[in-house]
Chains A and B, each alone.
Chain A
């Protein structure tokens, strides 16, 4: 193309030299600030290319001289967080669980840690508000099957309930009375049990049930029906029913027996998390104070299944 560049009079700008049907293009230069930003972006881009992962390769991208990865960053952040928490976690690791309630600051830290851990590990059965459901105890109330002081909760959490592979687990087994007691006897004993908490009025049937209860149930549930925590035998006189206090449910319970299970957590969670969970469950409103002389955990959980079975067998 012939060089038709000329100065455009109204603007004083040079044209690029093209012309179509009288239409010409001005060679207006880019604004200075724009050119500077443009080159600055390119320089920045080159720097980024060298420092950070940038060019896609077959399996991964180039590493960049800083060796930065988002996973590495997460890892560093998690390490920093662990380090930040170290004073609390080491204090929690060293304090015996029964003394935790006496240390306000540590207890509160444990409760908050436990609240988070509970949401991950416990809500599947006990519910997000720890209110439980049929067969899964409500942890907010003041009724405890195996004990509600910090230590007892801690033992339950550590060793679980009725874990077949574990010697120290909390264990007991209510016998199924179908076949052992007649239908009439079961009707009488359920009526008696319901009368303990005022759900039924005393009658001849409940009187008969009382005798049957004394012979078959009192060894675990106590002569007064108030239960025994050594065996996880529930208190039958209160207003709280794990499976239900209506006639049909109670009849099913006596016929088939109930024995819920809970995982042990000592093979899944670290001791500090278990302590935090114990503190959280203890804080929900039903937490009890430790009995005066703190008994070794073994004494509580050491009840052999055989012994319980023998008692029931009588």
Chain B
């Protein structure tokens, strides 16, 4: 036993401190694509609440509005009521399946291009470069002692970040109230406390996530990279360092001296320098890689300078990597894209979308729900007739006032009247003026002769006078006392 050597391996620490990441500026195809996507996504986020949409005098004129106070969700010409929340659920499911589809087809494209964490971090890094300078200047400044220059630059940078963060938080609340009104109320101190709290929280999270935590959010906080890792397969696009082409890596000087012994990688470290998450892609696929493809741009530029073909680092599937390594042809991109997995995802995604579009076209804008009184279930009137009481809720989901007729079918000899009417004037139908975009709740008394079954099914139907509308009806039970004989 004495022959066993004591374990000398240094145990890794349970907590790894953050290593500074100072991504270098880069230009290229993917960088430009990221610029465009950043501009579009930020524009959508900041501008959407300010788009106006005329819905007439009875509804707000904001194109996209989540009106929590009045429980309405407006999206251009679509208005969602709380009971139609399944449309929102459908959208969320579509967003989920859409992410599955994107992930299995092109890998972590969401992470690399469209995720708010990526977009805002990217924006913050541009601001950082504008104030502190590029990578090397940033490193120098980080190491410098806290002199006038460092303090003033830090304060300027943080102020700029805070400004962006504040506008980010500020834009968020605009989705939940009339934007121009809310801006005025916000600055005059009249807005609701929750508005200030929301802006405060989102300002803080944007400032911290975009300015300081950055890739830590992706690597440690976000569950999505881990889920995606499980969803990707050998046919998903990955940012790949083509080691079969790059290795043995060596400096340009060594490679020129001995071309046979070295691959294309000149170990210039540009791919590491530009990486916003601070990883070395040459170590292979890893969770820190958000597939932003900036290393592709950096490497392509170097390859061009040393006169080698582009694409030493490129989008590539694992299958293709294996194929090319063993001298076979890579699959054509379309074949990689259209495979059972992506087709099934697309099928599910599209059928949910089509089903929602279909139901959106079919939905009625007049809705009736009837609640019979349970206690008492019937009332015997002095002339022997039996009365049942119902509470009707008529939803007028159009943004205009409408006259609505309520009729009963299938209950012989029945008449009805409302709480403010009288039985002497009871008829076979009643009508109500229903306010625009509102629920009209009304008590309805229905009296019928005592002769008949103990429980008679009949229908209460509602229809708008305007004539161009489908109505709605409910089947309910008319209860009579048990016959004593």
Contacts and interface: CB of A to CB of B under 8 A. Distances in A.
Nearest to A235: B382
B62 interface: no
Interface residues of B, number: 22
B419 A283 contact: yes
B381 A142 contact: yes
A35 to B, nearest CB: 15
A87 B382 CA distance: 39
Nearest to A283: B419
A239 B384 contact: yes
Contact of A138 (B7, B11, B376, B389): B376
A47 interface: no
Nearest to B484: A246
A285 B426 CA distance: 13
B482 interface: no
Given A10-B11, A129-B373, A239 B379 contact: no
Given A142-B423, A285-B387, A131 B376 contact: yes
Contact of B376 (A140, A197, A240): A140
Interface in A73-99: none
Contact of B445 (A138, A235, A285): A285
Given A10-B7, A10-B10, A11-B11, A141 B379 contact: yes
Contacts of B8: 10
Interface in B44-86: none
B5 interface: no
Interface in B344-401: 373-376, 379-384, 387, 389
A142 B375 contact: no
Contacts of A127: 375-376
A238 interface: yes
Given A10-B7, A283-B419, A285-B389, A138 B379 contact: yes
A75 B18 CA distance: 53
Nearest to B9: A10
Contact of A240 (B11, B373, B380): B380
Nearest to A239: B384
Interface of B: 7-11, 373-376, 379-384, 387, 389, 419, 422-423, 445, 450
18 contacts: A10-B8, A10-B9, A10-B10, A11-B11, A129-B373, A129-B376, A131-B375, A131-B379, A138-B379, A140-B387, A141-B380, A235-B382, A239-B382, A239-B384, A240-B380, A285-B379, A285-B387, A289-B422
Interface of A: 10-11, 127-131, 138, 140-143, 197, 235, 238-240, 283, 285, 289
